[in-house]
């Protein structure tokens, strides 16, 4: 037991993260047993440096011999603020590691300063090419993330071996943001094969091939991307003037099997806890039940949860098997349908768009609340809710708690979408503003005026908003099909056209295995 306690305690110690006060007794126990050797203290100092936590570095260093303590303290000071004393540090792998961590931290807030400091420190401490690459990576990343003027130069300075998928994407986006189509195409073609074969990059490689005069090369890429029921797959199918691929799976399970799953005591407790707004406890009970379920029983448990209004299980508990992503009736529930249609009609907005917003914002949980205090189905902030409720003279609005009422939340959220649409004119700009707010959206508009919608969305600098806009639009297509049996082309939806030729989805033989819509 003592040996196991030591192993568990040392695992906590080694991770480099700040520990809660409850762990003080554990650390004291390690110290009293003489287990916190200098080597282990240095191990935690280095791990904390990698996590860019100088306060943890200082705490971990206590108990080191005086000379080591002084050096560790200076290492921590370097993480706080890069200083010239580092030029005189011992020329060791540890010093190089700390210097790389400190420069990487500096690059996030001031890439210009990090670039200026790198050559002298690299020379004094003997950085390897990989270590230089780590710092150059961070300098380039935090430059291009804001599309600063030196982005292209700094991206080109990063050694090929230091590139990862994230930086490959940014190299393509940066070139797109300048309208440099040949450079953007070259950036995609430098991606690893696994990344380049994603429907997003297949689609953009095809678009860029067209932009650079190679229309024939675009066709097979569009065909490959169009197999995916995603934002990019739908766009690719549109470029080919083909119907969208959707292959729903409706298992034919016996009622008896579902009833047996529904009797599981932990599942019963989980649903009851969810219904009294105890989500953490509900998920704990769910996880307990799931340990006893095979794949079929787990899927049936998701059905039982959905029958009881707990819709997010279809997002968080499905996906272990690829076919589960084709359970559209579970993953895209039709709930509050009458209210959605009524409020959408009142505000002249497509109801599928409203449903897609709800699915992206709360997964149809009326009690959802974000860390930013956005509330309810459409994640409305209290200030926004009060202003919109007043503007539309919504009867019975009684403050923020009213946002947990589904009809009220949908009425306010849909009216707010209408207000934003009146301001921005186009759905994709409106969706960006709904997520990021007017300031960033206005900045992106001014930086890239007259961009095609697909390139404008892809060059949004906030990852959350970039993914959100694509997700809401893809969800809107799927909800259009769920509500109406067919769908408006995504190219029309992007531009706010509500009346046009509608599409029926297709599912060709052998296609289902690769036809999975992503959350």
CA distance 337 to 347: 15
Question: What are the pLDDT tens digits along the chain (519 aa)?
Answer: 588 888 898 999 999 999 999 898 999 998 888 899 999 999 999 999 999 999 999 999 999 999 999 999 999 999 999 999 999 999 999 999 999 999 999 999 999 999 999 999 999 999 999 999 999 999 999 999 999 999 999 999 999 999 999 999 999 999 999 999 999 999 999 999 999 999 999 999 999 999 999 999 999 999 999 999 999 999 999 999 999 999 999 999 999 999 999 999 999 999 999 999 999 999 999 999 999 999 999 999 999 999 999 999 999 999 888 899 999 999 999 999 999 999 999 999 999 999 999 999 999 999 999 999 999 999 999 999 999 999 999 999 999 999 999 999 999 999 999 999 999 999 999 999 999 999 999 999 999 999 999 999 999 999 999 999 999 999 999 999 999 999 999 999 999 987 768 999 999 765 555 555 667
Residue among 472, 508, 462, 65 at smallest CA distance from 245: 508
22: burial class by Cβ within 10 Å (0-12, 13-18, 19+)? exposed
In order, the DSSP letters of 164-214 are -HHHHHHHHHHHHHTT-HHHHHHHHHTS-HHHHTSHHHHHHHHHHHHHTT-
**Per-residue model confidence (pLDDT) at position 3:** 85
Q: Would you state the CATH architecture of domain 337-500?
A: Orthogonal Bundle (1.10)
pLDDT score for 75: 98
Q: Which pLDDT does position 515 carry in this prediction?
A: 55
Which CATH number is correct for 2-171, 1.10.1030.10, 3.40.109.10, 3.40.50.300, 1.25.20.10? 1.25.20.10
Distance separating alpha carbons of residues 250 and 253, to the nearest angstrom: 9
Report domain extents, the chain: 2-171, 176-240, 255-326, 337-500
pLDDT confidence of residue 510:
58
The torsion angles phi and psi of 503, rounded to 5 degrees, stand at -115, 145
Q: What is the pLDDT of residue 516?
A: 57
pLDDT of residue 481: 97
Beta-carbon contacts of 129 under 8 Å, excluding residues fewer than 6 positions away, are: 159, 161
Token pair listed for 212 = 């650079």
In angstroms, what CA-CA distances link 307 with 174, 260, 316?
46, 15, 16
User: What's the predicted TM-score (pTM) here?
Assistant: 0.91
CA dihedral sign, ordered 422, 428, 430, 431? positive
pLDDT value at position 295? 94
pLDDT (0 to 100) of residue 409: 98
pLDDT of residue 499: 73
407 burial type by CB count under 10 A (0-12 exposed, 13-18 middle, 19+ buried) = middle
pLDDT at 514: 54
């Amino acid at each position: 037991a003592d040996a196991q306690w030591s192993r568990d305690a040392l695992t906590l110690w080694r991770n480099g993260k700040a520990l809660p006060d409850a762990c003080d007794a554990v650390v004291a126990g390690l110290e009293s047993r003489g287990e916190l050797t200098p080597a282990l203290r240095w191990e935690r100092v280095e791990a904390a440096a990698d996590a860019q936590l100088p306060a943890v570095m200082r705490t971990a260093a206590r108990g080191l011999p005086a000379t080591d303590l002084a050096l560790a303290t200076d290492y921590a000071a370097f993480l706080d603020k890069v200083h010239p004393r580092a030029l005189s540090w011992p020329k060791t792998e540890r010093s190089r590691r700390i210097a790389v961590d400190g420069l990487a931290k500096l690059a996030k807030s001031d890439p210009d300063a990090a670039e200026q400091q790198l050559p002298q420190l690299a020379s004094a401490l003997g950085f390897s090419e990989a270590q230089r690459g780590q710092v150059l990576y961070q300098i380039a990343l935090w430059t291009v993330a804001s599309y600063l003027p030196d982005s292209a130069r700094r991206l080109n300075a990063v050694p090929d071996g230091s590139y990862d998928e994230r930086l490959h994407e940014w190299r393509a986006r940066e070139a797109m943001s300048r309208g440099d189509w040949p450079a953007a195409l070259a950036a995609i073609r430098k991606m690893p094969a696994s990344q380049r074969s994603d429907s997003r990059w297949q689609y953009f490689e095809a678009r860029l091939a067209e932009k650079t005069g190679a229309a024939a090369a675009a066709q097979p890429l569009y065909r490959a991307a169009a197999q995916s029921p995603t934002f990019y797959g739908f766009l690719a199918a549109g470029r080919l003037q083909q119907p969208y691929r959707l292959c729903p799976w409706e298992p034919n399970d016996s009622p008896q099997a579902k009833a047996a799953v529904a009797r599981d005591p932990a599942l019963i407790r989980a649903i009851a806890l969810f219904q009294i707004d105890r989500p953490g406890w509900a998920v704990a009970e769910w996880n307990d039940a799931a340990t006893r379920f095979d794949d079929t029983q787990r899927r049936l448990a998701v059905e039982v949860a959905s029958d009881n209004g707990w819709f997010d299980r279809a997002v968080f508990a499905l996906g272990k098997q690829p076919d589960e992503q084709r359970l559209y009736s579970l993953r895209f529930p039709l709930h509050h349908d009458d209210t959605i249609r009524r409020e959408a009609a009142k505000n002249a907005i497509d109801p599928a768009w409203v449903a897609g917003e709800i699915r992206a914002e709360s997964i149809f949980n009326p009690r959802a609340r974000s860390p930013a205090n956005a509330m309810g189905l459409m994640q409305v902030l209290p200030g926004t809710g009060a202003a919109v409720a007043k503007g539309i003279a919504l009867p019975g609005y009684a403050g923020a708690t009213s946002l947990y009422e589904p009809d009220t939340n949908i009425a306010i959220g849909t009216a707010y979408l209408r207000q934003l649409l009146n301001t921005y004119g186009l759905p994709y700009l409106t969706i960006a503003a709904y997520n990021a707010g007017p300031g960033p959206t206005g900045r992106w508009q001014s930086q890239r005026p007259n961009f095609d919608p697909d390139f404008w969305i892809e060059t949004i600098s906030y990852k959350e908003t970039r993914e959100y806009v694509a997700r809401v639009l893809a969800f809107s297509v799927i909800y259009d099909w769920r509500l109406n049996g067919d769908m408006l082309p995504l190219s029309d939806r992007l531009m706010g056209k509500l009346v046009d030729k509608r599409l029926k989805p297709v599912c060709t033989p052998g296609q289902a295995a690769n036809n999975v819509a992503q959350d």
